[in-house]
Amino acid sequence: MARIDDDIHDAGSTPRAFTLVEVPLETVPADLAVVTPPASEKRRRGDVFRPGPGPMVQFQGVIKRYDGDVRGLDGVSVSIAAGEFVFLVGQSGSGKSTFIRLCIRELRATSGHVIIGGRDLGELKRSKVPYLRRAIGCVFQDFRLLPDRTASENVAYALQVTGHSRQEVNRRVPEILALVGLDGKGDRLPRELSGGEQQRVSIARALVNQPRLLIADEPTGNLDPDTSQGIMDLLTRINRTGTTVLVATHDRDTVDRMQQRVIALHKGRIVRDAEGGYNEDPGDTGEIA
Amino acid sequence: MRLGMFFREALRSIRANAAISVAATVTALIAVFILGAFIPSFMYVRSAVSAQTSKVDVDVYISDTASVKQVNALRDKIGTLKTDGQVAEFTYVSKDDALRLMRERLRDPSVLDELPSNPLPAKFNIQPTDPANANAIVAAVKDDAALDPTEGIVYPQTTADRLLTAAKFVQWAGFALIGILLVAAVLLIGNTIRLSIFARRREVEVMRLVGATNWFIRWPFMIEGVICGLVGAVVAVAMLWGIKVGVVDAWASGADTALTKTGSAGGAIAFPLLTVVLVGAGALLGAVGSGITLRRFLRI
């Protein structure tokens, strides 16, 4: 059994995911580079959940049963390499949300293994779960912003939680807001921002701790097509910096346009795993409880 | 730096949920006020009971026919008990003394003038060092020749026993009541803070999502609870002080009542100490109340 805790306590210095030096694409704006943390950044004991080599996300025969006999996932095995951009598609109830909640250990697998960054989450102590979550950025359909805090404060919160100094918070928050295209809007409250802008704040919050894995659950579910396009472009840019991006969606147009790897779930099983578009639904079109 | 941040978060939460914060503060105020009124009352009653208990004394009545020699023998016997440490003090009350005392006690002493002779026997009044010694003292003198055959020895055996039982009961009942009050206060404050947490459960959800540790989430809430508890306690202490100065002290100095006599000064708790106890209790109530309530919200 791997000693997960030992690894977490090991605070050696490795290149962070957000180093943008090798990125060859012109689409990445130059200002992205400023997000690279300084070498002097403070590391705290137990503060680091550092993914090892190998796949970023690995499911091995994962079964998740809810109370009663409701099956969230019914034997899912899949592997997502570091740096991939993957769509997770399927109807409501197909198991997309279960898949995502297993990745951040909001749920535990009934059987099988969920391995993130080389660590089996089934063996992760509960007290270490916060450190796992800091290594994963999460974006949701409903943004999950704190309504009584400005955009800046919402992003700053994720930094304060990880124990960054106020100077560092003051330095990094404007940078990351500029990166997601919210330059100058840091003082606005969420209700003063459009849906697309709120989702950008939520992405900024997910990115500010430089996660190696970004998970987005229906990030464009509440947005119009043009705004959705902007959000997907932002996620693509983030992926090009080396961050693994996993997007759960049932937005057929977006998936067809992006032509990325698509994992299709149906009734808790993987029914397709290939590059390309959304494709036809293999099963019936009714809602599955 | 972190403590400052937690403090700011707590103040932000108090401002954002002003109504709930006021409710929690008032809950703490009521709890501390009841506690603050109860503790001195309890201690007063306890000291009054123990004052009564110490007043148990033994009267040894002397026969009118007893000779001076016999009376002196009895006096020596009691004197020995005093040397042994069982008797604190004893006094001889002659027949004339007894009649005089009776005369003082009666509302209409003229009835005594009707008496052809003094019917009251002389006696030794014995104060035991401890009420529990009364039985031993009685055993030592009960067969003495000088004893009055009809009156013999009079001492409040049952009264002494009852007082001792009452003193113990008052003590334990008091502690139990204080315990119940504290538990009730913790639950009340916890319940009020639960409202605050419920109003902010989305916030807690977001905190967990971005990787906040449970203690990181807990601190601001506990500080919030402590602030509400402290403010409530300080107001309660101010109210108690007002009542003490305005009502209790005035009443106690005004009349030389039986109650103020029985309650010895040593039995009452000093007000500064009471303040410290109550303010500490308020802070603790707030912290424990919110800490317990948070447990539910921090699973997973």
Residue A42 contacts B, CB cutoff 8 Å:
no
What is the predicted pLDDT for the residue at A38? 39
What is the predicted pLDDT for the residue at A40? 38
Best residue of B13, B17, B210, B214 to probe chain A, by most A CBs closer than 10 Å: B210
Contact across the interface for A209 and B300, Cβ inside 8 Å? no
What is the predicted pLDDT for the residue at B225? 87
CB B290 within 8 A of CB B224: yes
Residue A148 contacts B, CB cutoff 8 Å:
yes
Residue A44, pLDDT above cutoff 60: no
Q: What is the mean pLDDT of residues A96-113?
A: 92
> Hey, what CATH topology would domain A55-276 get?
Rossmann fold (3.40.50)
Residue A31, pLDDT above cutoff 50: no
Residue B164, pLDDT above cutoff 60: yes
What is the predicted pLDDT for the residue at B265? 43
Percentage of chain B beyond pLDDT 90 is 4
Q: Which of A127, A158, A163 sits opposite B210 (nearest CB)?
A: A158
- Between residues B123 and B50, the one the model is more confident about: B123
Q: Mean pLDDT over all residues of chain A?
A: 80
Q: What is the pLDDT of residues B242-276, one digit of tens each?
A: 888 877 776 766 554 444 444 444 445 678 888 88
Contacts of residue A198 in chain B, CB cutoff 8 Å? Answer: none
Distance CA B81, CA B124 (A): 13
Contacts of residue B202 in chain A, CB cutoff 8 Å? Answer: 144, 146
Q: What is the pLDDT of residues A147-196, one digit of tens each?
A: 889 999 999 989 988 788 889 999 999 999 998 999 889 999 999 999 99
Residue A27, pLDDT above cutoff 50: no
Contacts of residue B205 in chain A, CB cutoff 8 Å? Answer: 144
DSSP-assigned states of every residue in B87-135:
EEEEEEE-HHHHHHHHHHH-S-GGGGGG-SS--PPEEEEEEESSGGGHH
Q: What is the mean pLDDT of residues A103-107?
A: 91
Percentage of chain B beyond pLDDT 70 is 86
What is the predicted pLDDT for the residue at A59? 95
Residue A129 contacts B, CB cutoff 8 Å:
yes
Burial of residue B217 (number of CB atoms within 10 Å: 0-12, 13-18, 19+): buried
Q: Which of A47, A56, A66 has the alpha carbon at shortest distance from A213?
A: A56
Contact across the interface for B209 and A144, Cβ inside 8 Å? yes
Distance CA A146, CA B40 (A): 47
Among A85-89, B44-48, B86-90, name the one with the lowest average pLDDT: B44-48
Percentage of chain A beyond pLDDT 90 is 46
Contact across the interface for A130 and B213, Cβ inside 8 Å? yes
Q: Which residue from A minimizes the CA distance to B206? A: A144
Residue A260, pLDDT above cutoff 60: yes
CB B63 within 8 A of CB B147: yes
Residue A98, pLDDT above cutoff 80: yes
Most confident option among A88-102, B118-132, B192-206: A88-102
Beta bridge partners of B42: none
Residue B108, pLDDT above cutoff 50: yes
Burial code of B17-29, b = ≥16 C-beta within 10 A, e = fewer? beebbebbbbbbb
Distance CA A217, CA A143 (A): 10
- Between residues B194 and A104, the one the model is more confident about: A104
Looking at the complex, report in whole angstroms how far the Cα of residue A68 sits from the nearest Cα belonging to chain B: 20
Best residue of A105, A161, A207 to probe chain B, by most B CBs closer than 10 Å: A161
CB A219 within 8 A of CB A229: no
pLDDT confidence of A77, banded at 50, 70, 90?
A: very high
What is the predicted pLDDT for the residue at A213? 94
CB pairs under 8 A between A and B: 50
- Between residues B48 and A201, the one the model is more confident about: A201
- Between residues A244 and A19, the one the model is more confident about: A244
| Domain edges within chain B | 2-52+163-297, 57-155
Residue A80, pLDDT above cutoff 80: yes
What is the predicted pLDDT for the residue at A47? 47
Q: What is the mean pLDDT of residues B149-163?
A: 67
Burial code of B43-61, b = ≥16 C-beta within 10 A, e = fewer? bbbbbbbbbbbbebbbbbb
Neighbours of A181 (CB within 10 A): 16
Q: Which of B5, B203, B216 sits opposite A146 (nearest CB)?
A: B203
What is the predicted pLDDT for the residue at B160? 63
Contact across the interface for A161 and B2, Cβ inside 8 Å? no
Q: What is the pLDDT of residues B189-240, one digit of tens each?
A: 778 777 777 777 888 888 888 888 888 888 888 888 899 899 999 999 999 8
Residue B124, pLDDT above cutoff 90: no
Distance CA A53, CA A66 (A): 32
Q: What is the pLDDT of residues B59-86, one digit of tens each?
A: 888 888 878 888 888 888 888 888 887 7
Contacts of residue B216 in chain A, CB cutoff 8 Å? Answer: 130, 161
Contacts of residue A144 in chain B, CB cutoff 8 Å? Answer: 202, 205-206, 209
| Domain edges within chain A | 55-276
Contact across the interface for A134 and B203, Cβ inside 8 Å? no
Residue B76 CA to its chain's centroid (Å): 40
What is the predicted pLDDT for the residue at A15? 40
Q: Which residues of B touch A (CB under 8 A)?
A: 1-2, 5, 16, 202-203, 205-214, 216, 300
Contact across the interface for A131 and B5, Cβ inside 8 Å? no
Residue B166, pLDDT above cutoff 90: no
What is the predicted pLDDT for the residue at A3? 42
Contact across the interface for A209 and B207, Cβ inside 8 Å? no
Burial code of B143-178, b = ≥16 C-beta within 10 A, e = fewer? ebebbbeeeebebbeeebeebbeebeebeeebeeee
Best residue of A144, A150, A203 to probe chain B, by most B CBs closer than 10 Å: A144
Distance CA A63, CA A73 (A): 5
In words, the CATH class of domain B57-155 is: alpha beta
Residue A54 contacts B, CB cutoff 8 Å:
no
Contact across the interface for A132 and B210, Cβ inside 8 Å? no
- Between residues B72 and B131, the one the model is more confident about: B72
What is the predicted pLDDT for the residue at A280? 54
CB A177 within 8 A of CB A183: yes
